[in-house]
Structure 1
Amino acid sequence: MKEILKLDYKRVWRTYTGGKLIDTMHQKKDASDSHYPEEWIMSITEAINPEPTKGEGLSYIPDLNMTLKTYIENNPEETLGKAFYQKYGLTTAVLVKFIDSLERLTLQVHPNKKDARIYFNSEFGKTECWYFLKGRTIENEKPHVYLGFKKGITRAYFKELFDKQDINGMLNALNKIEVNEKDCILIEGGMPHAIGSGCFLVEIQEPTDYTIRVEKYTPSGLKIDEKLIHQGIGYDKMFDLFNYKYMSLSEIKEKYFIKPRRITQKEKEIIGYDTIDYFKLKELNISKNYLSEENIFYGMVIIEGKGIIKSGDSQYTYEQGEQFFIPYQTQTIEIIPEIPSRIFKCFGPK
């Protein structure tokens, strides 16, 4: 058993375009936008796309020539911990992504756990949390999101807008909110939303790719495959997944804009189990040797910095953009930064 698993970084095809800032993070000289605007982290989830590619989205362990999913299946208790494995089975029950949007994503919704069981026979919905990094201004517009229905929006009215493909009408049915670096927003299953252009963020979520879309073409003109619109449940039932309950903009910000909690001088909790049981995200800022001690498996993503990470017989150099998986059995790792480092630690459910 390896104490530290170094993962490759998997880019995933999406209907929207972006990804230049992910290239830049990896210090690519030819950074550019494309239909690969997401990088999936510690992933055991396969992407749902119109032309499925076997294994697309799954994290890979180059040293062992296998996916993280296969490694966990071969070593469940050592990797996940006996209690977690008995509760959730052969899954980390979490997925993490980098998302960089050149264009606005289509208006969409994800199922909550209840609806995921009913419509997709899944124990996991797709509640998610966004933590914003440095974005970019696109066509004089700053990074922004669309979130929650405005007052008076009903199922019948919103479906009518969909049937007419009244894009402006659907956009106007949601609150448009400008976002800034270090904003953290919780998106519960059922909440209508869209990430706007110019956003660069880390997303932590339940481990599925179920997305209901209400636009038949992306803003840049790509026709969206029918199955990617309703995910196989049909054009009528898909409207059952939206939460039409009205919340004022101030109520949305109060409930869903999450304030980080300082744990130590070097570590803060961006979102934790006191907010939601589904996942936890920590941020570590260090300039000197640091011992990371946890009693659960987790993923590590290097946002900034360079150095060495080691535990037992495992030792790796790290630099920005790289990702690692720390199994349950590895209670302690040592991080030795050569230059100041900003690191995210990503955890599954409670």
Structure 2
Amino acid sequence: MSSDNEPVALPANQPRQFYRGGPAIAALRDADVAENGPEDWVASITTQFGAEEAGLSRLPDGRLLRDAVTADPVAWLGPEHVAEFGADTALLVKLLDAGQRLPVHCHPSNDFAARHFGCRHGKTEAWVVIGTSGPEPTVYLGFREDVSPEVVAGWVSGQDSAAMLAALNPVRVSPGDAVFVPAGVPHAIGEGVFIVELQQPTDFSITLEWQGFLAGPEAGHLGLGYDRALACVERRAQAVDDLVRRTRALTGESVDLLVPGAAPFFRADRLHVSGTAALEPSFAVLVVLEGAGTIGPVALRRGSTVVVPHAAGEVVVTGDVVAVRCRPPRVSSLGS
């Protein structure tokens, strides 16, 4: 059985999805392409919506990470985190390779999720772009102008994809860009965009544009009916500059990737290690983008995904490594 006091390298965890993608994940990992594998759920204690086990990460010794955290939450998460969240990592990390444009959708807020799903977490998320392909890699983020509830409902009932997409802000992206997506903000990820995604640990998606993507409208409203589900849509215009951070040119041992508004939900930084670097104690998920080295006793290479328990303490990274480090919010940031 692996120790809950040391970093652990995780195998791939690619639950079946409705859309195409996956070659970029395979190339990063130097592995075969998984069938219907456009997402790799890393260090996940979250199941796909309505599933009993799909989506959960397993440790190399066969235990579900969820069960290991439940058995010893303080070792995995630290006492302050446990005091606020219990045996809940408060974080889900994914690799997501969009082999086609994803549908226009949004996610509920904490309040909406509490009222309708009995869950403390909504699904605010962020995308750290680590690769792109094609001539115009683009994401779509928030409405360009305020939209009335009647207009949104009309688009959904008529499945007017062109109108929905045209109403959103198109944002060209390249590696190093980081996009914050607050709960409720409608969005879509374009074909050829490869990201490390941080999100609150749920699988709640209200799919406005279901036709051509899902089996039917019932799969798009999570059992609420669209009359109720569309209440979670943020219909106000979004200022893209407040949500996007361009970090490609930034250097240093640790580069903060996200805009300040993300702090109550999660943290992400890009590590540039040449030699050695000591990381402060924290539950963390590392995705290695370049290079090779070690973290504690674990070997690192391009494509490695590693979960670090809080009990590992001030863990040391050695070698020449570029990695995205994902962490839950600081407990002191809650409510800010």
TM-score by length of 1: 0.87
Specify the SS of the correspondent of 1:230.
Answer: coil
Shift of residue 13, structure 1, vs aligned partner: 1.8
Task: Write the distance in 1 (CA, Å) between the matches of 2:216 and 2:210.
Answer: 8
User: Are residues 263 and 106 of structure 1, via their aligned partners in 2, closer, same or farther at CA, if it must alter by over 3 Å?
Assistant: closer
What's 1:158 paired with?
152
Alignment of 1:318 with 2:300, yes or no, is yes
CA contact (8 A) 1:5 1:326 kept: yes
What's 2:98 paired with?
101
Shift of residue 104, structure 1, vs aligned partner: 0.6
Runs of 5+ unmatched residues, structure 2:
331-336
| Deviation per residue, 1:191-248 (Å, 9 max, x gap) | 0111111100111111111000012333xxx54344430011112111101011124x
**CA RMSD of the aligned region, Å?**
2.1
Specify the SS of the correspondent of 1:329.
Answer: helix
Task: Write the distance in 1 (CA, Å) between the matches of 2:216 and 2:302.
Answer: 35
Alignment of 1:25 with 2:28, yes or no, is yes
User: Are residues 273 and 92 of structure 1, via their aligned partners in 2, closer, same or farther at CA, if it must alter by over 3 Å?
Assistant: farther
What's 2:85 paired with?
88
| Aligned residue type for 2:36 | H
Task: Write the distance in 2 (CA, Å) between the matches of 1:291 and 1:329.
Answer: 18
Specify the SS of the correspondent of 2:132.
Answer: coil
Percentage of pairs with the same residue: 28
CA contact (8 A) 1:9 1:322 kept: no
Alignment of 1:63-212 (within 5 A): 64-137=61-134, 141-212=135-206
Shift of residue 78, structure 1, vs aligned partner: 1.5
| Deviation per residue, 1:47-84 (Å, 9 max, x gap) | 126xx4x422111111x320111111111111111221
| Deviation per residue, 1:281-307 (Å, 9 max, x gap) | 11111231x132213221122112222
Number of equivalenced pairs: 327
Shift of residue 274, structure 1, vs aligned partner: 6.7
What's 2:5 paired with?
2
Instruction: Between 265-274 and 120-129, report the one with greater CA deviation.
Output: 265-274
Instruction: Between 159-168 and 192-201, report the one with greater CA deviation.
Output: 159-168
CA contact (8 A) 1:45 1:207 kept: yes
CA contact (8 A) 1:174 1:193 kept: yes
Shift of residue 255, structure 1, vs aligned partner: 0.9
User: Are residues 182 and 291 of structure 1, via their aligned partners in 2, closer, same or farther at CA, if it must alter by over 3 Å?
Assistant: closer
4+ residue runs of structure 1 moved beyond 6 angstroms? 261-264
CA contact (8 A) 2:279 2:315 kept: yes
What's 1:343 paired with?
323
Alignment equivalent of 1:229, drawn from 203, 207, 220:
220
What's 1:267 paired with?
254
Instruction: Between 183-192 and 296-305, report the one with greater CA deviation.
Output: 296-305
| Aligned residue type for 1:133 | I
Task: Write the distance in 1 (CA, Å) between the matches of 2:71 and 2:260.
Answer: 29
Task: Write the distance in 2 (CA, Å) between the matches of 1:80 and 1:216.
Answer: 37
| Aligned residue type for 2:272 | N
Task: Write the distance in 1 (CA, Å) between the matches of 2:99 and 2:267.
Answer: 27
TM-score by length of 2: 0.91
Specify the SS of the correspondent of 2:257.
Answer: strand
Instruction: Between 79-88 and 224-233, report the one with greater CA deviation.
Output: 224-233
Specify the SS of the correspondent of 1:11.
Answer: coil
| Deviation per residue, 1:3-23 (Å, 9 max, x gap) | 222222211222211111001
What's 2:41 paired with?
40
| Aligned residue type for 1:287 | S
Alignment of 1:253 with 2:235, yes or no, is no
| Deviation per residue, 1:308-344 (Å, 9 max, x gap) | 222xxxx22221111112111211222222xx32112
Task: Write the distance in 1 (CA, Å) between the matches of 2:17 and 2:328.
Answer: 24
